[in-house]
Structure 1
Amino acid sequence: MELVHSGKVRDVYVDGEDVILVASDRVSVYDVVLPTPIPDKGKILTQLSLWWFDKLSDLVPNHIVSGTDVPAEWAGRAVRCRRLKMIEVECIARGYLAGLGLREYEASGAVSGVPLPTGLLEGSRLPQPIFTPTTKSAPGVGVHDEFITFDDVVSDVGADVAADLRRITLEVYRRGAAIAAEQGVVIADTKLEFGWAPDGTLVLGDELLTSDSSRFWPADDWKPGRPQFAFDKQFVRDWAAGTGWDKKPPAPNVPEEIVEATRARYIEVYERITGERW
């Protein structure tokens, strides 16, 4: 196998016709990898992704070939996938107002060109889920993703493909949010990535509805107008922001209590959503 890419969290190897995606225990915030890993994080992300890919396979083809046919040293944290030509758009669905979406709304009253009602607060539920694509920042250059409009996506990939990306992203979000809601979990937003299979099929790739790609909140604690309890890496972002760090490398070491609390939150949301013990 050949290592062809080492990202902030995943390493990508080519193995014949397939690729092997290996999820590490690394955690990144503000596009910087923190020096302290979160134990079991890679396995939790991988197993939650596989659970969701199985649940949502009727909505869109996905890149999974096998969750078990991988080298033994990566068992549990790696997946064998089809090779895709990735589309250079981050496809984000938002059902609630948080993070960069909240900041964009406060500045312009809209997110990715989608106008929203006045008077919304942090954590507010939107009238309906919206598609808010962003650019994909180049690895290692420290450039944050930026919001683009649906028309920008049309210019990049064409009207038909853009419509498919929006439709599928929102369908996946709605189905996933409904399933999670039955288990007392709010999915505030999520990021999806798509690519082209060799036969021209549009395929869902990367990870799916994990604590790295989504905001998860406990439904019984949700209350607009304040920060929400996070089952995702927002907890680490908030810690990092409170240290006074300038968000540039090198990042500070993460204290043991933050590592343990983050791991516990990743495990709890996995168990809530899947109904399985970690």
Structure 2
Amino acid sequence: MTEALPGWSLAYSGKVRDLYVAAGQSLETAPEMLMVASDRVSAFDQVLEPAIPGKGELLTELTRWWTERLGLPSQLAPDADARTPEPVRGRAMLVRTLDMLPVECVVRGRVTGSGLKEYQRLGSISGVSLPDGLVDGDALPEPIYTPAWKAPQGEHDENVSYERTVELVGEADAAAIRELSLSVYARAAEVAAAAGLVLADTKFEFGRDRVTGELLLADEVLTSDSSRYWDAAALEAGRVESFDKQIVRDWLAANWDGEGAAPELPAEIVERTAARYRELIERLTGAPSIGE
């Protein structure tokens, strides 16, 4: 469900985020946009019901914390907080509009998820050859960059090789986003490890500022929706305890065959997921999360 914000027009509604521009403008021309994180949750390309209470604020808090913690160039517009509409303050960011690169930059430190399935078929992920015998959750010899092509709305993203990203965005930008992705992942993984967490994988998106041409991290950064965080002690004991929407993925995989509309999430799954989102922020930042 989107919201009516005086002075703003809804320009795009995605699975979990809504983009607004100033009334009378469009995404193609607006110098700024309001990026609102909803409480909606998606899995297997489905938006599920009910939403996860507080999720939008938690993801926004996490993006902003990581941006400040790692000293990353910010997409935030000048005086963003003061100019953010009150009804969505706390789960929205007023940002500079970027010309987005059509590449999803995935970095993996562990083999799991869709990467595991591709590895089991091909012995590689996005063209990166890997050792034989890896199983779910195994650490990779070193983090790998496994990009995907950002498909148009309504189509599925497609894992591609690095060489294909060169064709998509040019050699200079392809090299820059690969280097930035690996660098940010490595720094974040160290911070996570100090909090007793394993950053199994994450994905980034980049765009260029329309005025300055600066290449910036866009959208969410190292959130529970864009990353897999695991408890390090549990992993050492042979269990995977995740701090993301894996609880939702697992329940849906066990209770839905992929045909027709996805079933409604049970209240227990919703609350467990919300609790894990909150716990992740508390573990990382050492402070109570919003809503506690």
TM range (shorter): over 0.9
Q: Which residue of 2 aligns with 1:272?
A: 283
Q: Which residue of 1 aligns with 2:216?
A: 203
The whole-number CA distance in structure 2 between the counterparts of 1:17 and 1:273 is 33
Work out whether residues 134 and 145 of structure 1, in 8 Å CA contact, stay in contact via their aligned partners in 2. yes
The whole-number CA distance in structure 1 between the counterparts of 2:175 and 2:111 is 23
Alpha-carbon offset, residue 146 of structure 1 = 1.9
Q: Which residue of 1 aligns with 2:111?
A: 97
- AA aligned opposite 1:155: E
Q: Which residue of 2 aligns with 1:5?
A: 12
* 1:139-218 equivalences in 2 (<5 Å): 139=153, 141=154, 143-198=155-210, 199-218=212-231
Alpha-carbon offset, residue 68 of structure 1 = 5.4
Work out whether residues 102 and 151 of structure 2, in 8 Å CA contact, stay in contact via their aligned partners in 1. no
Alpha-carbon offset, residue 17 of structure 1 = 3.2
Work out whether residues 40 and 51 of structure 2, in 8 Å CA contact, stay in contact via their aligned partners in 1. yes
- Cα RMSD for the two superposed structures: 1.5
- SS of alignment partner, residue 242 of structure 1: helix
1:55-87: CA deviation from partner (whole Å, max 9, x where unpaired): 2234xx231223553111001110110000111
* 1:1-278 equivalences in 2 (<5 Å): 1-15=8-22, 17-58=31-72, 61-65=73-77, 66-67=80-81, 69-139=83-153, 141=154, 143-198=155-210, 199-223=212-236, 228-243=240-255, 245-278=256-289
1:85-104: CA deviation from partner (whole Å, max 9, x where unpaired): 11111000001111001111
Work out whether residues 195 and 202 of structure 1, in 8 Å CA contact, stay in contact via their aligned partners in 2. yes
Alpha-carbon offset, residue 13 of structure 1 = 0.5
Alpha-carbon offset, residue 230 of structure 1 = 1.3
- SS of alignment partner, residue 160 of structure 2: coil
The whole-number CA distance in structure 2 between the counterparts of 1:20 and 1:241 is 34
Higher relative contact order (CA 8 A, sep 6+): 1
Q: TM-score, normalised by structure 1?
A: 0.94
The whole-number CA distance in structure 2 between the counterparts of 1:38 and 1:67 is 24
- AA aligned opposite 1:219: A
The whole-number CA distance in structure 1 between the counterparts of 2:69 and 2:147 is 24
The whole-number CA distance in structure 1 between the counterparts of 2:239 and 2:42 is 20
- AA aligned opposite 1:10: R
List structure 1 runs of 4+ shifted beyond 6 angstroms: none
Gaps of 5+ in 1: none
The whole-number CA distance in structure 1 between the counterparts of 2:54 and 2:118 is 34
Q: TM-score, normalised by structure 2?
A: 0.89
Gaps of 5+ in 2: 1-7, 23-29
- SS of alignment partner, residue 64 of structure 1: coil
The whole-number CA distance in structure 2 between the counterparts of 1:68 and 1:177 is 32
- SS of alignment partner, residue 170 of structure 1: helix
Work out whether residues 207 and 213 of structure 1, in 8 Å CA contact, stay in contact via their aligned partners in 2. yes
